């Protein structure tokens, strides 16, 4: 059989496995809480790997190794920032959000939690939050579908639109039928595939280039600065890279996992698994980029057209075609895990935070689960329509969507969990200012060149939320009772 056939078989097996998990999860989904939040029954490993796989996307296997290959270790600062941010997210947000979201009217989405936590009877906070999630994640999902189409085009020579339809059909099927459980279980499989691939490729590649000494010598012969964390870096540049970590506190598709874990006690174990997975995966991605520099220096007859293809190229050089196909499946897994996570959060925003909040809250669970599935289909069709023509506009929007979510929701989530005096108007004002700052800053080349837009967006959101809350604060016995109950439960259950 040709290399192409072996690789295609590996991809087909992977796709079939994802569909089977979707079917298995469909049989375990009985009500709306199951569909939107997995019945709050996830174990620590599922929670940790699901959060990690939903977070990283194709950037982990293509973007980061490509940046290291092209520029060197100076690009690793973003990995430092992400690891620190993820650790603090698990440490500070996970246990409190798990307890508080249940204490506060058993909230199953981030917008519903904010509304219930702040006792907003106007529904404005929930609706505005839901709209922000709906709009940004529709474009996020679309960008993932674009990546899927490009993947099949570059890896197998399939037409872009054919690849887009294949990826979209599989992700839509298991997300639509299996809901949050399917997304979480498939994320575990995808996270493990990504992890193993990022360990195996640089480890075996290291032997091919003569071990540590051979790799270092080859990299230095290309450019000694490639092995420096500081050469070519600026103070603001390092701050901008590390500031990516701030985004974690406000990413709905990541922090919703904290609400789904079975108990607060298990957040500690989940944190260890999640951060271990993340640190080793990031280290593998960085090592892959460095090994790529050494390999192509030693094999001058071979060239790499696209730096972001270094992981795929090394996998095809190192492994049997079937195993190389699994390496390709790892890239596809990174893309699909993020698409599915964003689809389920977008569906929950549309049904739980907009339809139920504004139009009809009196319906059966069966009715709302059906609408949730229809919402997945609707958002997917819109995202596919946007993705049909590869538009740089989508990619530009996604480039600062991380900052947008981090600046709009991050400070508000932290304040809601740690400060009882946060008010509805404080949260709303902070969210609007944070999101607006990111959009303005991110579209101004002069400002964007100074520092990553999440920094001013996050800081201004925090300041505005605190100041407006202090102005509008009125003591609320119910808010104080829930805050105190949450603190007591945290002390008891940890």
Q: Give the pLDDT band (50/70/90) at residue 1.
A: low
Residue 443 maps to a domain: no
Mean pLDDT across the stretch 182-206? Answer: 89
How many helices (H) and strands (E) in the chain? Answer: 22, 0
Paired with 261 in beta bridges are 42
Give me 9's structure tokens: 């078989």
What's the domain range around 20?
A: 3-390
Q: Is the dihedral of CA 411, 412, 417, 419 positive or negative?
A: positive
Total count of domains within the chain: 1
The dihedral formed by the CA atoms of 168, 66, 410 and 350, expressed in degrees to the nearest 10: -10
Mean pLDDT of the chain: 86
With respect to residue 398, please indicate whether it lies within any of the assigned structural domains.
no
pLDDT for position 364: 72
Mean pLDDT value of segment 107-129: 89
In a domain, 458, yes or no: no
The predicted-structure confidence for 45-62, as pLDDT tens digits, reads as follows 888 888 887 777 777 887
More confident of the two residues 41 and 341 = 341
pLDDT of residue 391: 61
Q: Provide the percentage of residues in the chain whose pLDDT is more than 90.
A: 34
Question: Is position 411 within any domain?
Answer: no
In this structure, what token pair is assigned to residue 443?
């579209």
CATH of the domain at 167: 1.20.1730.10
d(CA 430, CA 447): 21
Percentage of the chain beyond pLDDT 70 is 96
In a domain, 441, yes or no: no
Per-residue confidence band for 123, with pLDDT thresholds at 50, 70 and 90: confident
> What confidence tier does 100 reach under pLDDT thresholds 50, 70, 90?
very high
- Largest Cα–Cα separation, the chain: 73
Q: Which of 166, 170, 142 is nearest to 381 (CA)?
A: 142
Q: Does 431 fall in a domain?
A: no
Q: How far is CA 436 from the centre of its chain?
A: 22
pLDDT surpasses 80 at 305? no
Residue 128 has pLDDT above 90, yes or no: no
| Residue reference for tokens 């969210």 | 431
Cα separation, 441 vs 454, whole angstroms: 9
Best-predicted range by mean pLDDT among 217-221, 336-340, 414-418? 414-418
The Cα–Cα gap between 332 and 191 comes to: 11
Q: How confident is the model at residue 393 (pLDDT cuts 50, 70, 90)?
A: very low
Cα–Cα distance measured from residue 295 to residue 317, given in angstroms and rounded to the nearest whole number = 10
Distance, CA of 264 to CA of 348 (rounded, Å): 23
pLDDT of residue 377: 87
Please give the model's pTM, rounded to 2 decimal places. Answer: 0.88
Contact (CB, 8 A) for 409 and 458: no
Q: Are 172 and 257 in contact (CB under 8 A)?
A: no
> Is it the case that residue 392 has pLDDT exceeding 90?
no
- For 320-339, what is each residue's pLDDT tens digit? 888 888 888 888 887 888 88
Residue 440 domain-assigned (yes or no): no
Instruction: Dump the DSSP string for 210-274.
Output: THHHHHHHHHHHH-GGGG-SSTT--HHHHHHHHGGGGGGGG-HHHHHHHHHBS-TTHHHHHHHHH
Instruction: Report if residue 479 sits inside a domain.
Output: no
Beta partners for 42? 261
pLDDT digits (tens, 9 = 90+) for 419-439: 999 999 999 999 999 989 998
């Amino acid at each position: 059989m040709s290399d192409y056939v072996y690789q295609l078989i590996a991809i087909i097996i992977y796709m079939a496995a994802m569909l089977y998990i979707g079917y298995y999860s469909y049989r375990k989904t009985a009500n709306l809480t199951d569909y939107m939040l997995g019945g709050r029954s996830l174990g620590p490993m599922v929670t940790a790997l699901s959060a990690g796989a939903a977070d990283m996307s194709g950037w982990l296997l293509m973007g980061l190794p490509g940046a290291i290959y092209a520029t060197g270790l100076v690009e690793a600062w973003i990995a430092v920032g992400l690891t620190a941010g993820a650790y603090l997210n698990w440490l500070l947000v996970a246990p409190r959000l798990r307890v508080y979201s249940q204490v506060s009217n058993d909230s199953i989405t981030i917008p519903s939690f904010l509304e219930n936590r702040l006792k907003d009877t106007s529904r404005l906070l929930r609706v505005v939050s839901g709209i922000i999630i709906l709009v940004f994640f529709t474009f996020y999902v679309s960008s993932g579908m674009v990546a899927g189409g490009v993947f099949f085009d570059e890896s197998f020579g399939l037409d872009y639109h054919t690849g887009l339809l294949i990826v979209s059909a599989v992700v839509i099927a298991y997300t639509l039928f299996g809901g949050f459980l399917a997304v979480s279980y498939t994320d575990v499989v995808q996270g493990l595939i990504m992890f193993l691939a990022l360990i195996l490729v640089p480890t075996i590649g290291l032997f091919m280039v003569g071990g540590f000494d051979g790799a270092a010598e080859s990299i230095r012969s290309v450019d000694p600065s490639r092995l420096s964390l500081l050469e070519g870096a600026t103070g603001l540049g390092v701050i901008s890279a590390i500031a990516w970590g701030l985004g974690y506190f406000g990413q709905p598709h990541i922090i919703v996992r904290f609400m789904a874990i079975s108990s607060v006690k298990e957040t500690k174990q989940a944190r260890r698994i999640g951060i271990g997975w993340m640190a080793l995966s990031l280290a593998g991605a960085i090592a892959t980029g460095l090994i790529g520099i050494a390999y192509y220096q030693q094999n001058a007859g071979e060239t790499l057209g696209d730096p972001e293809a270094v992981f795929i190229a090394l996998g095809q050089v190192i492994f049997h075609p079937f195993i190389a196909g699994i390496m390709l499946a790892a890239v596809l897994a990174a893309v699909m895990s993020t698409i599915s996570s964003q689809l389920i959060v977008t569906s929950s925003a549309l049904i739980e935070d907009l339809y139920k909040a504004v139009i009809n809250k009196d319906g059966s669970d069966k009715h709302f689960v059906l609408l949730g599935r229809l919402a997945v289909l609707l958002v997917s069709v819109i995202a596919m329509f946007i993705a049909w023509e590869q538009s740089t506009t989508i990619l530009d929007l996604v480039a600062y969507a991380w900052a947008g979510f981090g600046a709009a929701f991050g400070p508000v989530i932290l304040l809601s969990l740690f400060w009882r005096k946060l008010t509805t108007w404080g949260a709303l004002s902070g969210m609007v200012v944070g999101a607006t700052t990111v959009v303005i800053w991110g579209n101004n080349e002069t400002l964007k060149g100074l520092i990553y837009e999440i920094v001013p967006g996050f800081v201004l959101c925090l300041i505005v939320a605190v100041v407006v809350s202090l102005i509008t604060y009125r003591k609320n016995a119910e808010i104080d009772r829930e805050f105190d109950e949450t603190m007591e439960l945290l002390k008891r259950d940890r």
